[in-house]
Amino acid sequence: MPRATTKKNMRGTRIRRPAIALVILIGVAAAARAEEPFRIGVVEDLNGTYSGNGGPNSVLATKMAVEDFGGAVLGRPIEVIGVDHQTKPDIGVTLTRQLIDQSHVSMINTGGSSGVGVAVQNVAKERRITSIQSGNYAASIAGKSCSPYGTQWAVSTVALARAAAGALLRAGAKTWYVIEADYTFGHDLANDVQQTVEAGGGKVVGRTLHPLATTDMSSPLLQAQASRADIIAFANAGPDLVNSVKQAKEFGITNTAALLVFINNVVAMGLNTAQGLRFPVSFYWDSNDPSRAFAKRFMARNGGTAPGMSHGMSYVATLHYLQAVQKVGSDDPVAVNKAMREMPFTDGMLNNPRIQTNGSVAMDLMLVQVKTPAESKYANDVYKVLDKVPADKLFPTAEQSGCTQLQQ
């Protein structure tokens, strides 16, 4: 192999030409990186089953956070790219790799499917990219599948189960039947309900699976009714939950419990059907002044659709992330995620939030009840807040979560 040629400078020092070329290439690459926009990817269900829970409005909420931050960071304009994972983990993985390799994103916001969320977080962890989970609730995301560069803003299934099932157990509901969606989120939520019920002295007498996007819930509902359980709990979400509640009412089944409900689900059911339902939420647009201010601007841009939990979390998480990037002066995932866990929250929209070392965003939850048609006074006036449940009663500690990659 021929040797690299050398020449002497004016002082007689020999300089290797390949070294000069390498320095030049690194300098050119750094300059190109500095001129390129700072990009955030939103990997969401934009058109499918869960698009109302997050979807295009999660992209909008992310963009609003960017605008409110000032539109630029590290001297670069911020660009938001939304892609549709179609609730398929393999598509989510492919899109995530494209966002990293071709668009050079610094952060990925994921919602719309916990199965996709776990897969996307795994890719981001492998590639050392910050990820936030704004709309994926499976406990494994901040548990056995956790990432030192990831945070879960969607309330985990453990916290949901403890908040919803705990209240019903205290009210005397001792026997339970669970109808669960047959994928990661449904299994995690059903398992967490069972653990909560059994820990509270109750018993789960049966569980029935149903495929995602099931339109006819009659078979699982009749099985649950035949069990004579005190409570029939729905470990599903989105249109599946809407169908479950509507069809339960048609069958005269009233002893039901919804565990994860979004405001768009309540709107889809209608207050006549949904009135009286009680469940925990992390964000309600009409609960305080900062939430109302955000919601009014949000609704003015999307035809009047109220922001739900995933939209509120997309906004708050993106704003918090950008503040951390600004503080540390880079998008380095280790430094940024350390800062995110240490910094105070400035948005005022959540109740006593903090980020645990496993990435779980713990906060007080609101226990709400759906209003009657007579109680609702204006558009999207659908909840009354009954109580607030402290985070320390709901969220497992980082050490209890099963996460083996805790940030130091």
Q: How far is residue 354's CA from residue 151's CA, in Å, rounded to a whole number?
A: 11
Q: What are phi and psi of 134, to 5 degrees?
A: -90, -20
Task: Please tell me the predicted confidence (pLDDT) of residue 167.
Answer: 87
Question: What CATH code is carried by the domain that includes residue 261?
Answer: 3.40.50.2300
* Same domain for 147 and 104: yes
Would 402 be classed as within a structural domain? no
**Maximum distance among all alpha carbons in the chain?**
95
Query: Cα 58 from chain centroid?
Result: 10
- pLDDT at position 135 over 70: yes
Task: Please tell me the predicted confidence (pLDDT) of residue 293.
Answer: 98
* Same domain for 236 and 202: yes
Would 23 be classed as within a structural domain? no
- pLDDT at position 408 over 80: no
Range of the domain at 316: 38-155+285-364
Specify whether the CB–CB gap between 334 and 154 falls below 8 A: no
Length of the chain, please? 408
Closest to 314 (Cα-Cα) out of 286, 339, 350, 358:
350
Would 2 be classed as within a structural domain? no
The residue out of 281, 305, 325 marking a domain boundary is 281
N-term to C-term CA, the chain: 47
Give counts: helices (H), strands (E), the chain. Answer: 13, 17
Domain count, the chain: 2
* Same domain for 123 and 101: yes
- pLDDT at position 1 over 70: no
Q: State the pTM of this model.
A: 0.88
pLDDT one-digit tens code per residue, 56-99: 999 999 999 999 999 999 999 999 999 999 999 999 999 999 99
DSSP string, 201-261: T-EEEEEEEE-TT-S--HHHHHHHHHTT-SEEEEE--HHHHHHHHHHHHHTT---EEESS-
Would 350 be classed as within a structural domain? yes
Closest to 350 (Cα-Cα) out of 387, 384, 312:
312
Q: How far is residue 210's CA from residue 381's CA, in Å, rounded to a whole number?
A: 32
- pLDDT at position 359 over 50: yes
